[in-house]
Amino acid sequence: MGTRRAVRSGGRVPAQLSRRGFLTATAATAAAALAACGRTSPVSSPGAAPTSGRGALRIGAIPDQDPEVLQRLYGTVADSLSAALDLDVSYAPVTDYGAAVSLFRTGDLDLVWFGGLTGVQARLQTPGAQPVAQRDIDTDFHSVFVVNTATGLAPADDLTPLAPLRFTYGSETSTSGRLMPAYFLQQAGVDPQGFPGGPGFSGSHDATLALVAAGTYQAGVLNEQVWASRTEEGAVDPAVVAYARTPAYSDYHWLLGPQAPARLGADLGDRVRQYLIGLPAGDPVLELFGAGSFVPASAGDYDQIEQIGRSLGLVS
């Protein structure tokens, strides 16, 4: 797992300390113990104590991949951001997608890498939140339906053969692992909730691959980029094959909360945006995100996701 490439955006693993200092007096007792090992504890519930001081930028992400992958990715992002902006930057893993939205709303996380749906949910729940940037590939994103070879299904564009299979999504609020695949299933005449025994929710794209490989579920769906990366690494069990690819949609983006500019300067959003879109080709952050570049993002980029989310009862 240590060599696995992070492809976007953890789970219950320690996070690295703020890159430019120790935790402040608001968590002095914990800081003394944690500084000794150079790590912080995960943030797991709304209202939890911030992971660093008032002058720090607290970043997070939806936990859509294995924790070790996310720890390496966002540790690199925090180091790079800290150097570029001359700020303390700390990364705090969260336990699930809902926790990422809640902690962003309460201000415990300032800058979060969200999927399309969670980004819409977080923005609508947090007045003043602003989309900052997305990857070049997020303007043309896809999901991949996978099946266990025991199904005998060959790659096809027709989704109807999936209807009688035991099927798992990723997280319940994942754009690429649930929302958009459910939409395209519905468009194909397949009830997205009508799989035998009801659909499963694995919790992450890697978990979906593992469950389909084990035969726990006969089919599932995941982020195309995770599929491509794991395939390139040779990490996909031969029992799992790609069945179909969805049409394109918009997905991941960085979202900045309103509390951060109030603490760190009104121009923070512009500074973070310029840092991201100014990363040169081949930069380690771009490599870890599987992107050629970051591009500016706006709320309007996610209108379709908001509309589909409302129709499925996932956005109110």
Annotated domain spans of the chain:
15-138+251-311, 142-245
CATH of domain 15-138+251-311: 3.40.190.10
The bridge status of strand 111-114 relative to strand 253-256 is: antiparallel
| Backbone angle region of 127, left / alpha / beta, with phi > 0 → left and psi within -120 to 50 → alpha | beta
* For residue 26, pLDDT beyond 70: no
**What confidence tier does 148 reach under pLDDT thresholds 50, 70, 90?**
very high
How many Cβ atoms sit within 10 Å of the Cβ of residue 3?
9
Q: Which fold has domain 142-245?
A: D-Maltodextrin-Binding Protein; domain 2 (3.40.190)
- Per-chain mean pLDDT for the chain: 84
**What confidence tier does 168 reach under pLDDT thresholds 50, 70, 90?**
very high
- What does the angle CA 61 – CA 63 – CA 68 come to, to the nearest 5 degrees? 100
Mean pLDDT on 10-38 = 30
Mean pLDDT on 142-146 = 97
28/234 Cα distance (integer angstroms):
45
Considering only the C-alpha atoms of the chain, give the largest distance between any 2 of them, rounded to a whole number of Å. Answer: 60
306/119 Cα distance (integer angstroms):
10
Instruction: Answer whether 15-138+251-311 and 142-245 agree in fold.
Output: yes
Range from 12-21, 257-266, 291-300 carrying the lowest mean pLDDT: 12-21
CA atoms within 13 A on the CB side of 151: 27
Sign of the dihedral through C-alpha 25, 28, 30, 36: positive
pLDDT at 210: 98
122/104 Cα distance (integer angstroms):
7
**What confidence tier does 312 reach under pLDDT thresholds 50, 70, 90?**
confident
* For residue 10, pLDDT beyond 50: no
Side by side, the strands of the sheet bearing 294-296 are 88-91, 56-61, 111-114, 253-256, 130-135, 294-296
185/246 Cα distance (integer angstroms):
9
Judge residue 139's burial from the number of C-beta atoms within 10 Å of its C-beta, 0-12 exposed, 13-18 middle, 19 or more buried. Answer: middle
